[in-house]
Structure 1
Amino acid sequence: MDPIAHTLVGAALAETGLKRLSRYATATLIIGANLPDIDIVAMFWSFDHSLYYRRGWTHGVLALLLLPLLLVGAIGLWHRWRGRRVQSDESFRPGALLALAFLAICTHPFLDWLNTYGVRLLMPFDERWFYGDTLFIVDPWLWLLAAAGVVIACSKSWPSILAWLLLAVAITVLMFETEFATREVRIVWLVAVAVMVALRWRMTSQAATVTVARFSVALLMLYIGVVYGMARTAENIAAERHPTPIAAQSNPVFGRPSSQRLVLVYDDHYRVIRADGGLYEVPRKTPDAIVEQAMASESIKGFVEWMRFPYWQVKETPDSFVISFWDLRYQGPDEPERGIGFVEVELPKKMFRRECRESAIVFDICLKLLPGPS
């Protein structure tokens, strides 16, 4: 999921009453909910390196054990640096912080697993990708449900109220500008924001804010469960209406959890069913020498490691081969490019001429070494 979702989930957990368990509990939950994304530094190298390294080591089972210890250790050092001894400060409880850190860090790969991007949960022992195929990578309803308790609890002063209003306006502008949001999605968003504002003015006591936070977290878990069921139902219905596939995969649509774009996998082709009901098929092929050479390119190493339903086309120019790769989870050759799930590699023909010459030389040497007829 996106950083906003992770941050709001950590903050929402704090407002359910968990922040009372220890000093720095809120900071631990918010930092822990985002900590596995330290691998985002790979983005500064290149987008392809990000695909290769992201959602791996820092999201796997070993990280779930080590990161809570590192986080609580860092908070303990901060606590000491501020001049307060752990032994004399009863509000600082390392054991409680460790439990909260573990909880917060576990929410991160769980939320990442829910979308179609995938996460390598068994790293570093196994590099397999796991997919929940439940939520769009940016889910506005998850934002709202997680934010409900946080907004009510953390808007007690005019500066905080102004900050939340500015954030709400900024996200609303994005909702209205993005091509993914339909008119219905925008209307529901505005109504939901209005309800949250009304709750803020009605709920003023501390007990009420804790109740709202707990209720919102419960609704969030219910929402995830319902959408998960919708996605699996869509896959089953597609498998019944079409020739029985090897696999069926649901791709949720932004803001519309009841709508999915589906990929059906067969032995020799893929069938893609768009959310609007449109359908197209592309062949499922075995890579030839040109495609294998392209897939071995360092420039798309991460993409090849990450892609799930690969499809490619080869175009020949006078001096090169241009190989286009699509990951059908996100787009295909008959769909508009979305900025993810598509790469191109250009291979000069002279590379293949050199390889052919070298192969011919080796073949000629082998013929000379063979014994002649007796």
Structure 2
Amino acid sequence: MDNLTHGLLGLAVGALRRPDAAGGPLSATDKAVLLGCALAAELPDLDNLLPSENSVVHALQAHRGLSHALVFTPVVALAATAVAKAVFRTARVGPVFLFSLISVCLAHLLADLWTGWGTRVLLPFSDRRWTLDWTMVVDPWVTLPLLVGAVWAWRRRTVWRRALLVGAALSVAYLGLRVALQNVLSGRVREALPAAERVQVFPAWLSLTTWRYVALLPDEYVVGTASLGRAPIEERRWPRPVPDALPESVRNIPTVREALAWARFPLVSQVPRPDGASEIRIGDLRYHLNGEPTLQFILELNPEGALRAARLERGGSAAELLRRWRGQDR
């Protein structure tokens, strides 16, 4: 999830605690809880500052690594508590730590889980990426109620707690609606493609009722869109890559291995170049637009087969993606 939403969710978690004096001014502990919760909701993303050998390793290893794991949450909560205690020296440590711990779990780890990228919450015991696929990484309809609640709390400080909790309740209600739609549309795609081994639906840009889907058939992927009020629309079929689509020496390159492990519905290709080098493309059809993959890892190998460069492509500029989304791309 984006950092604005993380921070606003952290404030909402802080508002779950009853103030020390109901109806009175906030105590040092009340203020420290709010600050600690907001900090705890943001701190895990400091891993974005970690150095990496290339952008692919950064996206897949450095970010959403150990700082996003459950075993690391007490460390994040302690750091947030230490800062809040330094600002509000008379605050009680216990409530600040407890709610900071709840905040990092709910306002950051859970918020990342409900997006589609995947979060390795069980590190270092498991490298599996967990995801719920409820929303895009940026979803204004999650953020807007939280933002309005925060502005309302700031302008009308006598009702600050109610404002934050009402904003959070509206966001949670919206998420519940998305979960229900995900289940309904998954069922419709399964009915339309009864031979599918697996079906998954994924959020689409700026849309509540229209989702993208990928169905796994024995020899191919079927991709398209599913929405309320009409049957699923098939947009394209892609052949499933064979297990040995890449030589073992290439699959064992750490960056390649990470990209292959990340992709749930992979498209894999290797294109030779005249100089003896080659380019490997690893995409994932859960990120598709009109049936075409939008997000791909591009890995360049030198003539000796070693990794020369790696980058992440998102299918064009924001304007180009928006044009394709609207069906205006020619």
TM-score class, shorter = 0.7 to 0.9
Q: CA deviation at 1:290?
A: 3.9
Q: Which amino acid in structure 2 is aligned with residue 288 of structure 1?
A: D
Which residue number in structure 2 is paired with residue 201 of structure 1? none
Q: Tell which deviates more after alignment, 64-73 or 139-148.
A: 64-73
SS in 2 for 1:129: coil
Q: Which amino acid in structure 2 is aligned with residue 31 of structure 1?
A: L
After TM superposition, the score normalised by the length of structure 1 is 0.69
Which residue number in structure 2 is paired with residue 42 of structure 1? 50
Deviation digits for residues 131-180 of structure 1 (CA, Å, limit 9, x no counterpart):
101101100011101112101122x4xxxxxxxxxxxxxxxxxxxxxxxx
Which residue number in structure 1 is paired with residue 101 of structure 2? 102
In structure 2, what is the Cα distance between the partners aligned to 1:328 and 1:314?
Answer: 17
Q: CA deviation at 1:284?
A: 1.7
Among residues 155, 158, 165, which one is paired with 1:206 in the alignment?
158
**Contact conserved, 1:311 with 1:327, CA < 8 A, in 2?**
yes
SS in 2 for 1:111: helix
Which residue number in structure 2 is paired with residue 68 of structure 1? 77
Q: Map 1:190-229; keep pairs closer than 5 Å.
A: 204=156, 206-207=158-159, 209-229=160-180
Which residue number in structure 1 is paired with residue 315 of structure 2? none
Q: CA deviation at 1:75?
A: 3.8
**Contact conserved, 1:136 with 1:252, CA < 8 A, in 2?**
yes
**1:314–1:47: structure 2 CA closer, same or farther, 3 Å change rule?**
closer
Q: Map 1:193-272; keep pairs closer than 5 Å.
A: 204=156, 206-207=158-159, 209-272=160-223
Among residues 265, 271, 296, which one is paired with 1:341 in the alignment?
296
Which residue number in structure 2 is paired with residue 6 of structure 1? 6
Q: CA deviation at 1:45?
A: 4.9
**Contact conserved, 2:14 with 2:99, CA < 8 A, in 1?**
no
Report the aligned-residue RMSD. Answer: 2.8
Q: Map 1:272-291; keep pairs closer than 5 Å.
A: 272-274=223-225, 277-288=233-244, 290-291=246-247
- Residues 1:310 and 2:310 are matched in the alignment: no
SS in 1 for 2:241: coil
Which residue number in structure 1 is paired with residue 253 of structure 2? 297
Q: Which has the higher strand share?
A: 2
In structure 2, what is the Cα distance between the partners aligned to 1:228 and 1:275?
Answer: 14
In structure 2, what is the Cα distance between the partners aligned to 1:327 and 1:59?
Answer: 23
Q: Which amino acid in structure 2 is aligned with residue 57 of structure 1?
A: L
Q: Which amino acid in structure 1 is aligned with residue 164 of structure 2?
A: A
Which residue number in structure 2 is paired with residue 131 of structure 1? 131
Larger Rg: 1
In structure 1, what is the Cα distance between the partners aligned to 2:37 and 2:273?
Answer: 55
Unaligned runs of 5+ in 1: 157-203, 353-374
Q: Which amino acid in structure 2 is aligned with residue 127 of structure 1?
A: D
In structure 2, what is the Cα distance between the partners aligned to 1:343 and 1:151?
Answer: 42
In structure 1, what is the Cα distance between the partners aligned to 2:280 and 2:128?
Answer: 26
SS in 2 for 1:141: helix
Among residues 279, 298, 304, which one is paired with 1:322 in the alignment?
279
In structure 2, what is the Cα distance between the partners aligned to 1:206 and 1:220?
Answer: 22
Identity %, equivalent residues = 24
Q: CA deviation at 1:110?
A: 0.3
**Contact conserved, 1:15 with 1:150, CA < 8 A, in 2?**
no
**1:14–1:260: structure 2 CA closer, same or farther, 3 Å change rule?**
same
**1:32–1:221: structure 2 CA closer, same or farther, 3 Å change rule?**
same
In structure 1, what is the Cα distance between the partners aligned to 2:46 and 2:238?
Answer: 37
Which residue number in structure 2 is paired with residue 162 of structure 1? none
Q: Tell which deviates more after alignment, 60-69 or 269-278.
A: 269-278
In structure 2, what is the Cα distance between the partners aligned to 1:129 and 1:153?
Answer: 36
**1:259–1:334: structure 2 CA closer, same or farther, 3 Å change rule?**
closer
Q: CA deviation at 1:291?
A: 4.2
The structure whose RCO (Cα within 8 Å, separation 6+) is larger is 1
**Contact conserved, 1:113 with 1:132, CA < 8 A, in 2?**
yes
